[in-house]
Amino acid sequence: MTRFVLRRIAQTIPTLIGISIAAFLLVRLTGDPAALMLPPEASQEAIDAFNVKFGLDQSLPVQYWKFIAAVVTGDLGTSIRFNMPVWDLFVDRMPATVELAAAAMSIALVVGLPAGIVAGLKNRSWADAVIRFFAFLGQAVPGFYLGLMLIVIFAVQLRWLPTGGRGTWQQLILPSVTLAAYLIALLVRFTRGAVLDTKRQLHITTARSKGLSSWLILRSHILKNSMIPIITIIGLQVGAVLSGTVVTEVVFNWPGIGRMMVDAIYTRDFPVVQAMVMIVAVIFIVVNLIVDIAYSFFDPRIRRD
């Protein structure tokens, strides 16, 4: 197990290097990083100082090395707009995004899991048809559109909930439902498939022929065996959630890292864009790593290859 974990951690290193190269090149490829990374009114001295600091007169490999050295020591650059370290901005905004993502994932589990189980157990029933219809719909609706339509109905027409912002629990409802919709749809389709697959396996037939009650079969045989792939799928959706928060945060004026990034783009605050690409990718990799390790813990067969 330890060997597997170590190997899996080692495997992330090339990925991390690749991501850092991509983030590095993203800004360099446009030609003049100083023009991107410094404010437009920057003085010639400031431009020269920037060029010396990052060695822009030197070869690309040397530049990359300096970039990595800065990142490793925790220097992710300085926001042009706020004139403070990007890392501090990130720490400031992250809790809002975590709150939103956690709420959305909880909603997705509470709604999607039971719906998927029902659809799988009663497949080809009317309940299955209704659940699948909504799952298809959930995957086809753009997050920003769903968010706006929820605002039209619940904030503008019914006036039950606020249109945006963060602070009260009422403000959390619409954005988290918006973000959860796609996850619910995915979870339903996946859980349904996993339950259907398990249902057909031999040990279920055996359990039935032993005369076990349906509830016991459902709980100790079907659900237990369907859980592993379902947990994995949830973990692997972190990327989708991170992408989804960008749009959701913009629609609901939610002060998280997604909106921070979009704002940074509009204001051409490129040090923030560059750093956010790296931070988000690293979060994604770490979560994937944890999911992989957890998965191998539940299913020892994975560790073999």
Partner 1 sequence: MVERQTRSQSSSTSVARKRWPLTALASGVVLLFVVLMAFWPHGWLPNDPIQIEPALRFLPPGFMEGGDPQYWLGTDVLGRDIFGQMIAGARASLLIVVSAALLSLIIGVAAGLVAGHFGGRIDSVMMRLVDVQLAFPVLVLIIAVVAVFGPSIPNLILVLALASWATYARLVRGLVLSLKEQEYIDAAWASGASHGAVLIRHYLPNVATSIVIFTTFELARLLLVEAALSFLGLGVQPPTPSWGRMISEARNYLFEAWWASALPGALIVATVLAFNLLGDEFRDRLDPHRDKA
Task: Pick left, alpha or beta for residue 159 (phi over 0 → left; psi -120 to 50 → alpha; otherwise beta).
Answer: left
d(CA 128, CA 215): 19
Of 78-86, 94-102, 172-180, 279-287, which segment contacts partner 1 by CB under 8 A?
279-287
Which residues, 6 or more positions from 129, have their beta carbon under 8 angstroms from its beta carbon? Answer: none
d(CA 121, CA 204): 12
Asked if 160 is part of the footprint of partner 1 (rule: CB under 8 A), the reply reads no
Interface residue with partner 1, options 109, 127, 148, 231 (CB under 8 A): 148
d(CA 27, CA 261): 15
Closest approach of Cβ 55 to partner 1, in Å?
21
Closest approach of Cβ 2 to partner 1, in Å?
22
Residues in the chain: 305
- Residue pair 220/278 in contact (Cβ under 8 Å)? The answer is no
Asked if 253 is part of the footprint of partner 1 (rule: CB under 8 A), the reply reads no
Asked if 302 is part of the footprint of partner 1 (rule: CB under 8 A), the reply reads no
Name which of 87 and 216 has its Cβ closer to partner 1: 87
Interface residue with partner 1, options 126, 169, 215, 266 (CB under 8 A): 266
Q: Beta-carbon neighbour count of residue 42 at 10 Å?
A: 15
How large is the C-alpha radius of gyration of the chain? 24
Of 103-111, 205-213, 267-275, 290-298, which segment contacts partner 1 by CB under 8 A?
267-275
Asked if 250 is part of the footprint of partner 1 (rule: CB under 8 A), the reply reads yes
Asked if 141 is part of the footprint of partner 1 (rule: CB under 8 A), the reply reads yes
Half-sphere exposure (Cβ direction) of 256: Cα atoms closer than 13 Å: 30
Of 49-57, 87-95, 274-282, 290-298, which segment contacts partner 1 by CB under 8 A?
274-282
Interface residue with partner 1, options 30, 43, 58, 168 (CB under 8 A): 30
d(CA 19, CA 243): 17
- Residue pair 293/5 in contact (Cβ under 8 Å)? The answer is yes
Of 60-68, 207-215, 223-231, 236-244, which segment contacts partner 1 by CB under 8 A?
236-244
SS3 call for 85: strand
Which residues, 6 or more positions from 109, have their beta carbon under 8 angstroms from its beta carbon? Answer: 187, 234
Interface residue with partner 1, options 4, 5, 26, 293 (CB under 8 A): 26
Applying the rule CB under 8 A, the residues between 64 and 123 that interact with partner 1 are none
Name the nearest CA neighbour of 147 among 265, 245, 258.
Answer: 245
Q: Is 7 exposed, middle or buried (0-12, 13-18, 19+ CB in 10 A)?
A: exposed
Interface residue with partner 1, options 136, 160, 203, 214 (CB under 8 A): 136
Closest approach of Cβ 145 to partner 1, in Å?
4
Closest approach of Cβ 259 to partner 1, in Å?
10
Residues in the site for partner 1, rule: CB under 8 A? 11, 14-15, 18-19, 22, 26-27, 29-30, 36, 136-137, 139-145, 148-149, 151-152, 156, 200, 239-240, 242-244, 246-247, 250-251, 261-262, 265-266, 270, 273-274, 276-277, 280-281, 284-285, 288
